[in-house]
Amino acid sequence: MKSIELMYPSDNSPERLDQFITREVPDLTRSAVQRLIESGMITVNGAPARPSQKLKGSEQIFIEIPPLAPAVPQAEEIPLTILYEDSDLVVVDKAAGMSVHPGAGNPDGTLVNALLSHCDDLSGIGGEIRPGIVHRIDKDTTGVIVVAKHDRSHLELARQFQEHSIKRVYIALVYGSPKTDKGRIESEIGRHPVDRKKMSGSARHGKHAVTHWKVIGRYGPVTAMEQRLETGRTHQIRVHLSEAGFPLLGDPVYGGSGRLTALKDQTLKALIRKLGRQALHARTLGFLHPISGEYLEFSSPLPEDMAKILEHLDKGSET
């Protein structure tokens, strides 16, 4: 049984209990919160709660979440591009369309399923569903990811991620053209107040997020950018760029469809539509080896779909 204690801030405006919990505990959907309330698993100031109950300030909220019993991921023989492997970790160049671990709507075909077939010594800290998973990249983002093979390795890599000492560089293709060649975006990223599939840089109770960006190519309506993460929040680059006015090409969640329609270059339009995903690639990952302490750095070339867009843009800039 997992227990969570929350306090509703005394200076907040009145808010429904289920809305507050859903925002504070992103892993719980609103329907899941309501089920827990109906089951008597959530109390407010020690008394049984109601879904529509209004919080007015300083309430103590206690949540009990029964243990989940998900299916254990099964090993699947899925081809992987292994960049490096030893007895402590494995570094993979993840393809587009592959989720990192099983979840709602993705019970199989994930990186975890593939790795369970490739090796039988993944770290157990991530649990049955996420063995070895220290960090994640989005399903449709390509590039470098490291996975721990045992708990000592997992703990040390997790420490480096928490201390923001790991080098993470992404390549992004975006709509628009920034006025300067480099910059820094900083905000508090949390669950979007209306659309739970999205994150937002203006969330009331978000987590601090910092992205450093640099222009590496300007092509009229499209810009190629390098993104260096100081922190690693969910959808961080996608949120930061979209809210700065430079949404990623092909991003189905964070905008850009109007920019696509306005493009005059029909070949470019076709390439973006064929992309079918956000144009984001985790190019470089650098960290200290969790056991030896040696600095390791791995890079992945642009995937073919993004490379074709850049190739077309480069040809256009030459004419």
Q: Give me the active site residues, please.
A: 138
Amino acid letter for position 224: A
Closest CA to 23 of 267, 196, 252: 196
Q: What is the CA radius of gyration of the chain?
A: 22
Question: Is 126 strand, coil or helix?
Answer: coil
In angstroms, the CA 279 to CA 281 distance is 7
Residue 234 · residue 199 · CB < 8 Å: yes
Q: Are 272 and 142 in contact (CB under 8 A)?
A: no
- The residue behind tokens 């420490």 is 159
CA atoms of 80 and 118, how far apart (whole Å) = 9
User: How many other CB atoms are there within 10 angstroms of residue 39's CB atom?
Assistant: 10
Is 96 within 8 Å of 79 (Cβ atoms)? no
